[in-house]
């Protein structure tokens, strides 16, 4: 398994744990407001961490074209979030913009 997939799986397990296991552990009781707010903010923060990790790997062998197309995709995602779209829409939009730019510019 590559480094990138290890990071993706670790973040997925963490997000799943935060969103599912914590409320189940509460046993049907109402979660405190601070914990609900933290769980709501955790997934976008994990996604941001994933983006940064994948954009600038520790090996340093990232081409400027790859970085620029990824940053354009992130910009599209941020624009969609600013337009009050869902996080899923923003992620899909960012992926599509990045893929189309990489296809166009090789």
What is the 8-class DSSP label of residue 41? H
Instruction: Mark residue 28 as left, alpha or beta (left: phi above 0; alpha: psi -120 to 50; beta: remaining).
Output: left
Q: Provide the whole-model pTM.
A: 0.53
Same domain, 51 and 1: yes
For residues 18 and 34, membership in a common domain is answered with yes
Range of the domain at 83: 61-105
Number of domains forming the structure of the chain: 2
Residues 49 and 1 in one domain: yes
Statement to judge: residues 71 and 27 lie in one domain: no
- Same domain for 77 and 101, yes or no, is yes
Phi-psi region of 70 (alpha: psi -120 to 50; beta: other; left: phi over 0): alpha
Question: What pLDDT, on the 0 to 100 scale, is given for residue 13?
Answer: 82
Co-location of 40 and 68 in the same domain: no
Q: What does the pLDDT read at residue 43?
A: 72
H, E, C per residue of 4-36:
HHHHHHHHHHHHHHHHHHHHHHCCCCCCCHHHH
Q: List the chain residues with pLDDT less than 50.
A: none
For residues 1 and 43, membership in a common domain is answered with: yes
Same domain, 6 and 45: yes
SS3 readout for 54-83: HHCCCCCCCCHHHHHHHHHHHHHHHHHHHC
Asked if 81 and 49 sit in the same domain, the reply is no
Q: pLDDT at position 100, please?
A: 92
Q: Same structural domain for residues 50 and 70?
A: no
């Amino acid at each position: 398994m590559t480094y990138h997939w290890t990071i993706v799986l670790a973040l997925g397990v963490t997000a799943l744990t935060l969103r599912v296991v914590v409320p189940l552990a509460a046993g049907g009781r109402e979660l405190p407001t601070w914990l609900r707010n933290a769980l709501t903010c955790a997934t976008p923060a994990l996604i941001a961490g994933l983006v940064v990790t994948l954009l600038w790997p520790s090996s340093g062998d990232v081409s400027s074209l790859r970085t620029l197309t990824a940053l354009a995709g992130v910009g599209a995602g941020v624009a969609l979030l600013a337009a009050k779209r869902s996080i899923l829409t923003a992620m899909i939009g960012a992926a599509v913009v990045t893929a189309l730019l990489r296809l166009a510019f090789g």
